[in-house]
Amino acid sequence: MAGKKVLVVDDDMKTVELVRLYLDRDGYQVLTAYDGVEALRQARENYPDLIVLDLMLPDIDGLEVCRSLRRESDVPIIMLTARTTDRDKLAGLDLGADDYVTKPFSPKELAARVRAVLRRLPGERGPEEIKSGELTMNFTTHEAWLADRPLGLTSVEFKLLGVLAKEPGRVFSRANLIEEALGYDFEGFDRTIDVHILNLRRKVEPDPGRPKYIKTVYGVGYKFAGGEQ
């Protein structure tokens, strides 16, 4: 997803620069605007892949910007605002916003939400099926098999295995796995991941004591090894 364009719209320059810093680190091309008029101009001229949009803007507020954009395109929009009432949140979502982040916010979490929304776009969802060694995962039916044996994975186990298997060799920290597989509303602890991995190994590994698929990288996290010893 590196190289995609993200338009950040906020009337506070410090907020814009903070968000830009984190998105730059993820490899995005960051466009900026400080009012609603400029936001619409940037969106219409530069065709961003996603917009981070503050609600309280001069000239034209964020809700009206969102309303105007939705008449013209389906570009993903993440609302960023100090308004915290359910009424404000629902107003943005009803207009077609894809996510909602309230101030004060964690720029790290916002960057993660940008990645999550972009992953949901058509063409960004990855393969419908993965085969590695004797393991097969079907992301349409949410089923997994080892050879011809159904694994009977829980929803959480399937999501964790899917995140690992889609990027073999990449080392995921526990925080990575929570963010990418379980989402922001997950209320467990980092070490809960270890329990899920243990249960996954019991189902996936021919010998859980000598894992071939899900390997531990000590002091860091876990990676998918594709059935190699």
pLDDT at 146: 92
* pLDDT tens profile 85-109: 666 667 767 777 888 888 888 888 8
pLDDT at 101: 87
pLDDT at 1: 53
pLDDT at 73: 86
d(CA 205, CA 215) in angstroms, rounded, equals 10
Instruction: List Cβ neighbours of 6 (8 Å cut-off, separation of 6 or more).
Output: 23, 28, 29, 30, 31, 48, 49, 50, 51, 52, 114
All domains of the chain in start order, with CATH: 5-119 (3.40.50.2300), 129-224 (1.10.10.10)
pLDDT at 7: 97
Instruction: List Cβ neighbours of 185 (8 Å cut-off, separation of 6 or more).
Output: none
- The low-confidence residues of the chain, meaning pLDDT below 70, are 1-2, 83-89, 92, 121-127, 183-190, 227-229
pTM for the model stands at 0.59
Helix residue ranges per DSSP H, 36-151: 36-46, 62-72, 86-94, 107-119
